[in-house]
Structure 1
Amino acid sequence: MLSAVPELHLRQIARWCDRHIPSGLRNQVRLEYRVRGRAITIVECRPPFLAELGPDWTETRVAQLRYSPPPPTGGQWTLHWSDSNNRWHPLADVPPASGPGPLLSTIEANPHGVFWG
């Protein structure tokens, strides 16, 4: 079965997440992604604050990239942010991109102040 998202793009997102957190800090924080259909959600993961809360790490949604399937010549990616009610909204002034790279750069730069607090 083929993925709904190009494998090359998934690897690019995985590398970006991996590079974003220094290896020496990954016992304290990780940046990961979750795939659901054509939506890639980037999450920040942290260990439990207290041992009695259990071993599960918590996840905070950072951003979502959505892939529109290709017409004859190629698909497009759009960038979305999550509000306090966990609803996703597109960033209207960020144009769609043919690959995730420009959108990952926007997340990192965070010019709108919506990705990290």
Structure 2
Amino acid sequence: MPLPERDITAVRHHCEQRIPPEVADELRIEADVDARGITIVGCRPPWRKDHDPAWTRRGVARLRWTSKYETWTLYWPDRRCLRAFAEPKACPGSPL
């Protein structure tokens, strides 16, 4: 079962709303979607544009979809860069 399109749209919209326009050239929050979930990443501009023009990307959170139970599980890096997770609390089909 594919990821719920409604949830993907909600996460992308949430990411777009997190950063004020006046700092959009310094920070971006993006949602990368793959077959099993959504990874929310923070993006920073390059320190030296002449060296490498690519923005630096770091995972902030991971939402993993379990189609059997139709639930999302939230994962995030803890202070030692290990993955912690939260038990799903939302009912299937409820807003994120």
| TM-score normalised to structure 2 length | 0.81
Q: Percent identity?
A: 34
Q: 1 or 2, which has the higher helix percentage?
A: 1
Q: How far has the Cα of 1:90 moved from its partner? A: 4.0
Q: How far has the Cα of 1:45 moved from its partner? A: 0.6
Q: Provide the aligned C-alpha RMSD in A.
A: 2.2
2:42 aligns with one of 32, 36, 44: 44
> What is the match of residue 10 of structure 1?
8
Q: How far has the Cα of 1:51 moved from its partner? A: 2.1
Equivalent-residue separation in structure 2 for 1:82 and 1:39 (angstroms): 16
Amino acid at match of 1:51: K
Counterpart check, 1:63 vs 2:58: no
Q: Which range moves more in the overlay, 29-38 or 77-86?
A: 77-86
For residues 1-117 of structure 1, what are the structure 2 equivalents within 5 Å?
A: 4-71=2-69, 75-82=70-77, 89-91=83-85, 94-96=86-88, 97=90, 98=92, 99=94, 101=96
Query: Could you report, residue by residue, the CA deviation over 1:51-100 in whole angstroms, capped at 9, with x for unpaired residues?
Result: 232211110110000111145xxx1011101357865x342xx3213356
Q: 1 or 2, which has the higher strand percentage?
A: 2
Gaps of 5+ in 1: 102-117
| TM-score normalised to structure 1 length | 0.68
SS of residue matched to 1:51: coil
Runs (4+) of structure 1 exceeding 6 A deviation are none
